Each structure stands twice: as structure tokens, then as C-alpha cells.
Amino acid sequence: MHVIGGQASTALAERISRELGNAPFAIPFVKRFPDGELYVRVGGRLAGEDVVLVQSTRTDQDVVELLLLEDAIREAGARRLTVVVPYFGYARQDRSFYPGEPVSARCMTRHLELSADAVVTVDMHSAATLQSFTKPAFEASGIPAIARLLRERPVDLLVSPDKGGTDRVRRMALLLEKPWMALEKKRIDSDRVELMLPSASPIELEGKHIVIVDDVISTGGTIVEAAKLLRRHKVGATAAACTHGLFLKDAFERIKAVTDDLYSTDTLQNPAEKASVAPDIAQILRKDVAELA
């Protein structure tokens, strides 16, 4: 099995190759023509081989690079191609809200799977998007990676910033054998939210080491408000953890200003990536994807 890492996921791709027993690993040659068009070329002998292509699709450029690399790998004669998309962009628009809108998540699945035999993602926005693939598709979770990291740190309580993350924080709590709670959230506008402790919470917060758990941190508004709320209850320390660290604009700095630490997995390259999903992706490649051959 050969592993190829796109520009958006080079480091994670190399970690996956090591998890697969030091599978052959390569970085494509990428350049831009004077008119801005992207050029890619894959090296090595891929004819008849099973190839894993790793590339998150945070930006439009990432998407185009992924599609070109898929075609290049097929042109090189690969026997099977598994596309790993650690962060699956455009997944939030999973339905048409107004007339004339695309279902962006479904559109992405249709195009990304065209040249692939299987697809692997991590913590997609909606389970329905995974079901829209017509090729075999598998979803890894960022929860085990974060749990492996938190086992080495003091944790007294896990907190979801809203009830929508209840399942996520509960699963994390089971792995770490720690208590958990979900805050109550009222959205004021696209950038502001109001958070409150659950009305029937018997948990004592003072002096506790607390970790706020989320799937995606983008603008960071909810995390900042959650940390401020917990600080007002005199907690001992507050950290935030997520699978996908987008950290748009000054989100990273604003969160760091009100927390004691910030953790993210390596689905996206960011200053908070301290946990790797490589073991979890490699496990799916070894077991689920291998069984398709």
C-alpha cells in the first residue's frame, strides 16, 4: 500500500504511512502555471498498487488539488485508490435551505468519489453526508485521539458547549471514565451566543480541571463564552479540545486568552494540533478498506 500526501495533509499522511508499517510514502510535485492553474505530478511506480491519497478539503484549491491527484494516480495505473479526506469541506450545507441552492455536501461526495474505490473521513458534520456516497465510505472519530492525549493530563470534568454535542462528550467521558455535562446555549446572532449551566446540574465546579469538547472550532465564539462561564464559577483550569481546528481570524488567540490550554487533532494543520488521528485512520484502512479488495 502506497500513501500519498496532498499539500493540505502532508504531515498526517506521513504519520498514516508509519502506522501502516512504514508503507511507501510520497509527496507529489505541485506548481502553478503563470495563469494560476495548478499542476501536479505523482512519482513512483503505482501500476497495480493499492494507493491511499490523503488530502483535507478546507479550501477550493485543496479540492482541485485532490481531484487532479486522483486522476494522476489513476493515470499511473493504481489497482485501487482510497481517498482519505480528514477534514471534509463544504459538509455544512447538507440540505437546500432556499430555492436555487446546491446541496454542497452531496455535490462534494459525488465528485470526490468518481475516481475512488473507497473514501475515509473524520467526524463529518452530518451522518447523512456519509450515506450519500455510492462507493464504500467510512468515518473515523477524533474522540479516541483526544482521549489518548487527555489521559496524560489532569481532567476532572468534560463539558460540551451545547446539547448538540452530548453524544460526543458522553463518548469521551466513557473512554476517560470521567463525569460530563452539556451547557445550555442560546444563539443571539451568527457571532454571539449566551451559555448557561444546565439547570439541574449537581456537579461542583470550583477548583476542577475542565476540558470543553467540540468537533469543530471555527470562529471560537462558543468556546470563549463557555470558558468565561466556567471561570466565573472558579474552576481550577480550563482547556478546549476539538477534532477540526479551523481557528478563523483571531479565534486561536481569543481562546488562548481565556483557557489554560488548547488541543486539536491533525486533520487540519494548525497551531493547536497535539493529537493525531493517524492510528484511527490506519485501523480503518487495515480492516474495513482491506476487506473490500
Q: Catalytic site residues?
A: 185
**Residues paired with residue 54 on neighbouring β-strands, in sequence order:** 5, 84
* Residue among 235, 257, 276, 7 nearest 122 (CA): 276
Separation of alpha carbons 5 and 28, rounded Å: 7
Name the residue type at position 132. S
Place of cell 455510492: 134
Contact 266, 275 (CB under 8 A): yes
Separation of alpha carbons 269 and 147, rounded Å: 19
Strands 29-32 and 38-41: antiparallel
Place of cell 489513476: 74
Q: Which residues contact 139 (CB under 8 A, 6 or more apart)?
A: 120, 121, 122, 123, 124, 127, 130
* Residue among 212, 272, 221, 216 nearest 251 (CA): 221
Name the residue type at position 141. S
**Residues paired with residue 186 on neighbouring β-strands, in sequence order:** 194
Q: What are phi and psi of 79, to 5 degrees?
A: -70, -45
